[in-house]
Structure 1
Amino acid sequence: MGKKKLRPLMLVGTGSDVGKSVIATAFCRIFLQDGYQPAPFKAQNMALNSYATPEGLEIGRAQATQAEAAGIPCHTDMNPLLLKPTSDKVCQVVLNGKPVGNQSAQSYFRKEGREIFRQAVHDAFDRLVSRYNPIVMEGAGSISEINLRDVDLVNLPMARHAGAAVILVADIDRGGVFASVYGSIQLLTPEERPLIRGILINKFRGDIRLFESGVRMLEELCGIPVVGIVPYYKDIYIEEEDSVSLETKQVQAAHGKVNIAVVLLRHLSNFTDFQALEQDPRVHLYYTNNTKEIEKADIVLLPGSKNTIGDLYELRHNGVAQSIVRAHKAGATVVGICGGYQMMGREVCDPKQVEGNIERLPGLGLLPVTTEMEGEKVTRQVRFRFLPALEEQFCSGYEIHMGNTVPLPDVSVSPLNQRSDGEADGYFASPKCFGTYIHGILDNAAVINYLLRPYVDKLTDVPFDFQSFKEEQYDKLADHVRSHVDMPLIYGMMQPAVK
Structure 2
Amino acid sequence: MKHLRPVMFVGTASDVGKSVITAGFCRIFKQDGYTPAPFKAQNMSLNSYATPDGLEIGRAQAVQAEAAGVPCHTDMNPVLLKPTNDQTAQLVLHGKPAGNQSAWEYFMEDDKRALFEEVKQSFNRLSHQYNPVVMEGAGSISELNLRQKDITNMRIALHAGAAVYLIADIDRGGVFGSVYGTIALLPPEEKALIKGIIINKFRGDIRLFEDGRKLLESLTGVPVTGVLPYYHDIYIEEEDTLGLSLKHKRQTTGRVNIAVVLLRHMSNFTDFHALEKDERVHLFYTDNPAELATADIIILPGSKNTIEDLIAIRNNGTARAITEAHKRNKVVIGICGGYQMMGEQVADPFGVEGPMASIPGLGILPVTTVLTREKTTQQRTFRYRHQEKICEGYEIHMGETSTQKPSPLNELTNGASDGYFLSPQCWGTYLHGILDNDTVVSDLLAQCGKVSVVKDFDYRSFKEAQYNKLATHIREHLDISAVYKALEL
TM-score above 0.5: yes
How far did residue 457 of structure 1 move?
A: 3.7
Which residue of 2 is the match for residue 153 of structure 1?
151
Counterpart of 2:376 (choices 375, 378, 387) is 378
Counterpart of 1:398 (choices 370, 394, 397) is 394
CA deviations 1:36-68 (Å, max 9, x no partner) are 111100000000000000000000000000001
- Equivalent residues in 2 for 1:152-191, closer than 5 Å: 152-191=150-189
Counterpart of 1:134 (choices 122, 132, 135) is 132
Which residue of 2 is the match for residue 20 of structure 1?
18
CA contact 1:111–1:150 (8 Å) conserved in 2: no
CA contact 1:281–1:464 (8 Å) conserved in 2: no
CA deviations 1:216-250 (Å, max 9, x no partner) are 11111111100010000011111111011201115
In structure 2, what is the Cα distance between the partners aligned to 1:75 and 1:35? 21
Counterpart of 2:424 (choices 393, 411, 431) is 431
CA deviations 1:368-401 (Å, max 9, x no partner) are 001111111111111111112xx01211111000
CA deviations 1:80-133 (Å, max 9, x no partner) are 000000111111000000010001111111353711110001000111111111
CA contact 2:8–2:136 (8 Å) conserved in 1: yes
In structure 1, what is the Cα distance between the partners aligned to 2:109 and 2:36? 33
For the residue of structure 1 that corresponds to 2:188, the secondary structure is coil
- Equivalent residues in 2 for 1:453-468, closer than 5 Å: 453-458=446-451, 462-468=455-461
Amino acid at match of 2:309: D
Which residue of 2 is the match for residue 36 of structure 1?
34
How far did residue 252 of structure 1 move?
A: 2.4
Which residue of 2 is the match for residue 484 of structure 1?
477
Amino acid at match of 1:392: E
Which residue of 1 is the match for residue 349 of structure 2?
351
In structure 2, what is the Cα distance between the partners aligned to 1:254 and 1:293? 12
Amino acid at match of 2:9: L
How far did residue 316 of structure 1 move?
A: 1.1
In structure 2, what is the Cα distance between the partners aligned to 1:248 and 1:318? 19
In structure 2, what is the Cα distance between the partners aligned to 1:155 and 1:40? 14
Q: TM-score, normalised by structure 1?
A: 0.96
In structure 1, what is the Cα distance between the partners aligned to 2:447 and 2:417? 25
Unmatched tracts of structure 2, length 5 or more? none
Amino acid at match of 1:363: G
Greater mean deviation of Cα atoms: 12-21 or 248-257: 248-257
For the residue of structure 2 that corresponds to 1:216, the secondary structure is helix
In structure 1, what is the Cα distance between the partners aligned to 2:109 and 2:130? 32
- Residue 240 (1) aligns with residue 233 (2): no
Query: How many percent identity over aligned positions?
Result: 62
Which residue of 2 is the match for residue 200 of structure 1?
198
In structure 1, what is the Cα distance between the partners aligned to 2:452 and 2:61? 35
Equivalent residue pairs, number: 489
In structure 2, what is the Cα distance between the partners aligned to 1:456 and 1:470? 29
CA deviations 1:200-219 (Å, max 9, x no partner) are 00000111111111111111
For the residue of structure 2 that corresponds to 1:429, the secondary structure is strand
Amino acid at match of 2:326: H
In structure 2, what is the Cα distance between the partners aligned to 1:113 and 1:151? 4
Distance 1:276 1:109, change over 3 A: same
Which residue of 2 is the match for residue 414 of structure 1?
407
In structure 1, what is the Cα distance between the partners aligned to 2:389 and 2:111? 49
Q: TM-score, normalised by structure 2?
A: 0.98
In structure 1, what is the Cα distance between the partners aligned to 2:188 and 2:66? 37
CA contact 1:282–1:459 (8 Å) conserved in 2: no
For the residue of structure 2 that corresponds to 1:259, the secondary structure is strand
CA deviations 1:169-204 (Å, max 9, x no partner) are 000001110000000001111222111111000000
Which residue of 2 is the match for residue 333 of structure 1?
331
Divergent runs of 4+, >6 A: none
CA contact 2:446–2:452 (8 Å) conserved in 1: no
Distance 1:355 1:394, change over 3 A: same
For the residue of structure 2 that corresponds to 1:32, the secondary structure is helix
CA contact 1:349–1:361 (8 Å) conserved in 2: yes
In structure 1, what is the Cα distance between the partners aligned to 2:415 and 2:313? 35
Which residue of 2 is the match for residue 92 of structure 1?
90
CA contact 1:92–1:99 (8 Å) conserved in 2: yes
In structure 2, what is the Cα distance between the partners aligned to 1:184 and 1:314? 39
